[in-house]
Structure 1
Amino acid sequence: MENNALANRLKLLRDKKGLLQKQVADKLGIKSNTLSGYENGSRSPDHKLLNSIADFYNVTTDYLLGRSDDPELTEKEEDEKLYKELDEILDNLPEDERNRLWSKIKAYAEGLADANKEN
């Protein structure tokens, strides 16, 4: 059941974006025939790739797997995705730049918190 839901939703999402299998496969770093296998239900992606596919289409893994009919990310999921992206960016910075950026982020967040208290 999950495999059929995954296959159907992968094809639906790709069609909605007007993309070819090759375009999606290239973006995901896989071969076109691998994606074809996912879309026809003969293969299943591993967890890491499933997360990458969900990120690519900006949907939840639960939606891809047919566990939810709501493709939209919840606010918490959006936040987690943002934190993950920020963490990856920070990991690629030299330590001094990373510390400087964290200081700016912290100051900005404190400023927002103070502004919200005043309102």
Structure 2
Amino acid sequence: MTLGSRLRERRERLGKTQLTAAKELGISNVQLSRYESDDRKPEPDMLGRFAEYYKTTADYLLGLTSDSTLEGATGIPSEAAAFEEFMRNPEHGLFFKDYLDAPEARQEEMLRFWTFIREQERLRRTDRDHE
């Protein structure tokens, strides 16, 4: 995957149009289009803005890692990273099948719900272990 295709993939994952993303990033739609088509390479500060905006790392955007989550940068699994791993399991994906393609607000709502479910399961296991 190229830098441009990774930028496009992250933008689409957030449910953003090119026009909306460009406006929120403070660049023109033409500039974003050129970045996504690999006609133009971003300067380091722009790369950092992309990583922050798309909730990923510069390493992922540059193709240095296949881990698109911020977990790769911290070494600590984030709730979103754990949830995405859970979602990639075909047995789990049916329940939240639209998560990966959902807009950001919907993803956050689903993540909160999943966090609640996971916590309840942890409490059940703890109670069962103490019986």
Residues paired across the two proteins, number:
76
Letter matched to residue 25 of structure 2: L
Normalising by the residue count of structure 1, what TM-score does the alignment of the two structures yield?
0.58
Once the two structures are TM-superposed, the CA of residue 51 in structure 1 deviates from its matched residue by 0.3
Unaligned runs of 5+ in 2: 76-131
Q: What is the DSSP-based 3-state SS (H/G/I as helix, E as strand, rest coil) of the residue aligned with 2:61?
A: helix
Unaligned runs of 5+ in 1: 79-119
More displaced stretch, 14-23 vs 29-38: 14-23
| 1:61 partnered with 2:65 | no
**Structure that is richer in helix per residue:** 1
Please provide the CA RMSD for this pair: 2.1
Structure 1 vs Structure 2: percent identity of aligned residues? 36
Q: Report the equivalent of 1:42.
A: 39
Greater RCO, CA 8 A, separation 6+: 2
**Is the radius of gyration larger for structure 1 or structure 2?**
1
Q: Deviations over 1:64-98 (max 9, x none)?
A: 011100012248649xxxxxxxxxxxxxxxxxxxx
| 1:29 partnered with 2:33 | no
Normalising by the residue count of structure 2, what TM-score does the alignment of the two structures yield?
0.53
In structure 1, how many angstroms separate the alpha carbons of the residues matched to 2:66 and 2:23?
27
Question: In the superposition, relative to structure 1, how do residues 69 and 34 fare at CA in structure 2: closer, same or farther (>3 Å)?
Answer: same
Letter matched to residue 30 of structure 1: I
The answer to whether the 8 Å contact 2:57/2:73 transfers is no
> Residue 19 of structure 1: which of 12, 16, 29 is its match?
16
Moved beyond 3 Å, runs of 4+: 74-78
